Structure 1
Amino acid sequence: MANFTTTAELVTAIQGLQSDENEVKSDTYRYVIYVRKSTDEKDKQVRSLGDQVDVCKEYALNNGLRVVKIIQEAESAKEPDIRPKFRGLLDDLKAGKYDGLIAWHPDRLARNMKDAGEIIDLLDKHIIKDLKFASFTFQNDTSGKMLLGISFVISKQYSDHLSDSVTRGNVKSIEEGKLINRAKHGYFKDRNQYLRPDGANFLLMKTAFKMRLEGKTMVEIATYLNESGYQKWHKDGKHRPFYMDKQKVQKFLIDPTYTGVLIYGKQTVDLATFYDFHPMLSVEEFMQINQLGNKSELIKLAKKHHKRENIKANLMRGMVICDACGEAMHAGITPKKTKDGVVRYFYYRCDTDDCDRSGKSIRAKVVMDYIYNFLDQKPFSSKASYKHYSTEMKRVAEERLIDAKKLLQSLQAQKRELDHRLLKTKELFLNDEDDDIKKHYKGDLKQIEEGLQNIEGTIEKQKEHIKKGQGGILTYEEFLELMEKTGQIMHKIKNMGELDYLCRKLYMNFTTDGKNIISATLSAPFNELYQAKVSQGGPQETRTPYPLIANEVLYQMS
């Protein structure tokens, strides 16, 4: 006989029994595969019908699931009750014809709240006994259904998902769960950029959420954290005191990341899918704290995060570092009315909450003047720099030749795969009697044929490149002319995208004290070219030459 001394032990035991009773017996279930792609979906990252079928069948085979039916549909899921095959599928599930459902991703099943709600309701009633996705992890429990609901919400907003999104036939993993710029309160980031509990600070933050569940005010929570000595982890591995106020408490209370649900721009991801994330609170507790009782309130939450990730300026975004906190500064644009009309000014602002310079900015002109000043000194024009260039170019040319041969082999393998897909898709096209499905296969055939044509052209180019062998190397005079014109070229550029591209080619980052650029790091190979000139008697400067004093003229780009 088991001995239970606390109610917690008894509850745990009962939950274990319930878990055993509710264990999914997937080996006896009858699964139906549902795939969908509508004509209004222009996103090439949505897999074709044929690819979805292949991936779902492979998933079922690898997991020992018995598939008894495959349903393909060529209709949009934006509006409810317009997909006859989907409606028939739900009717068959209710009639007990199938036990489980397999799809590529939740957005294949529903992109409207009526259909999404019906699926979750069928799960609650155990009519759908098991639900599987080939590119999305789902657990049939309360938290899993809530995550599924959030995924449906994001799908309704027609966002890109951070699961195994791929272009047709090309599988590319996306590093999900690594999109947070700074660690969340109570966590630190490990070497893989994953969030890990930060000891006592994790427990303090967990208590803060518990206090909110108990009805404590945000001011009371802020006071508790301040009096308890809460400290925030920084990327240098050190902890610094962090002063909480009502606004900062409100900010972390509405952040679903603490449950393990990361909303980043228009994308959402379950962190537990990628590593052993430890949440501070459950999804249910998060919903209770934020009084999210229905799907429309979830949509509002998602929109709030979408807006937060909106990019306002792309000129050297992420390259300008605040020396006080070591974090990348926010790149922004300020419109200002002048006698000539509205002019937009670029700036970089520190947005780190606990930084002494939080909210303070530096003008983009300071950074650009630093670059112009440096290039005007012709920092790469010397025989030493050219010698380094020519030596490296010979080495690089040899490496590229080896890489080109490897790439040719890869391209030839891809061509064989496309030939196989073309043959298979032709068979599916001829065997399917549904006219709408035939339209999709016809479109698939066209894309595969275009892909074959492109890859055959690339193969020929690679063969020609290999025949040529080592590419030409600039003469000393040509090298000097190119290097000395770099500054002139930058001065003439007016397009922000082109300017950003060239800046990123030249530099890795800049560090500012709020007024001046106090250090900068050149990108390869310009760092080596510059060091070659300095080591051979050029200007004896550090990697941060010519510090500039900020002037009153704002850098503008209309």
Structure 2
Amino acid sequence: MTKYICYCRKSTDEKDRQVLSIDGQMAELKEFAQREKLQVIDFITESKTAKEPGREKFAEVLKRIEKGEANGILSWHPDRLARNSIDGGQVIYLLDTGKLSDLKFPTFWFDNTPQGKFMLNIAFGQSKYYVDSLSENVKRGIREKLRRGIWPKEAPLGYFNDLKTKLIEVDSKKSKVVKKAFEKFCNSNISFSEIARFMYVNDIKTKKGDCLKVDQVKHMLRNPFYIGTFLYSGELYKGSHKTFISKALFNKVQKQMENFARPRNKGHNFRFTGFIKCAECGSAITAETHPRFYKRTNRKVVFNYYRCTKSLGSCGQKYITDVELEKQIRNLVRKTSLPEEGYRIWQKLLEEDKKSEELSASQRSIELESKISNLEDQENTLLDGYLQHIVEPEIYKKKKNEIFDRKLKLNDEKSKNGESGGGRLEPFANFIKTAKDGEELARAKNNLSELAVWTKNAGSNFFLGDKLLKLTLKKGFDTLFSTRHLPNSAARVAHLSFWAGLEGIGPPLEDLESPGLPLTYSPKQLLIIL
């Protein structure tokens, strides 16, 4: 009597949704075995694709048949046994040698005769053809997506795969979180783990609901997909998806990642360390906490101090309390801020310059379009040579990437000089916005982080000596500081305007007494030094 081993398989990446699950196959095969009065000695299941040889459980079935434990196989369909020529050939060979005497399938007729083996061979061939054609169809679909600038895999964080349009769309909520993560990493000294926690709190997690891994955060911050390009199989492609990260922000993040050093856990969150040095010895300024217990009142008071680390040698500088240092910084911010009236004057000038910028940007865009069109012609010529086997694949890929890089640079330049116009005025617009916010920032409370960021944006070369903070104010902020004694905003703006030439913003201190300086310069002349 023939002894059968029942073999059930369903691939984890099975594309045919009509194939029964393993449990479904087993139920059907048990019923079939009872109906046909078959002796089944074992049930073996496997969740693995049959496209390639190397299935452990299937190899076990064949080995047991060679040993003589069984001489028949029961399965749902021949494609459960083999979808490649090697596995199919092994089954046919065992039939030829007589070690395998019978195969039973509820969905396929088989008789161990030359005709039956011929039909089985055709069934195996059809299964292989199905896999091959499916693979080719998938590859063809991927190539078509790449030609259309569509990323053919799972959408990056901040995007989602639209099942209806088959496109990658911006997730209105998560994209804001991703953009904020880019900005936080660029503007704050925070670690990759802190970025991951920030995203977790804002509902961006792994598929299992966990916090993102550090490598996932790094991949996100380095992914050029966010600025409209992607790399697939060694080739660069221009994406057709919408972007929400600017090229300038992306480049800042890349630079920050190159210089990034994992911050040490200091235990305390002192905001004014890391950028101030000792004026006497040049060592870094650190901060520490000292508790003091008062017996008379039976209470403990904690004092925070900033002091020289003395890492470069002996130093006679004394400590300064955090309250005293904060007071000096708030006073500095207040004196380098731009009054509301001055802000309105500059906003008006900015609007006038934007109109002029838009006109010149339009003319430049036409020139860039012509250059891009020429590169596209070169790309088409290169593709024709590749398809006609005139150009080698490696040379084609290299030249295509070179042309793509040139097109990308031209497109970047076009975006800067295109519809937005006035984009070059953005640095100055940011300056006056930052300067305007200073006054409100100085009045607010519990905002040490914002104060530290604002101070570092406004100055450099910070030194602490004799309990006084000294620094070099950056262009623009130095003028606002040196004109703080003038009677009104118009007078301060006049000084800022008059001296905004190629040498930088701000008049020499000895010239500040000159009255009635005219509004001579426009914001465009400030771009060089901001």
Q: Where on the TM-score scale, by shorter chain, does this alignment land: which range?
A: under 0.3
Asked which structure has the greater CA Rg, the reply is: 2
Greater relative contact order structure (CA < 8 Å, 6+ sep): 1
TM-score by length of 1: 0.26
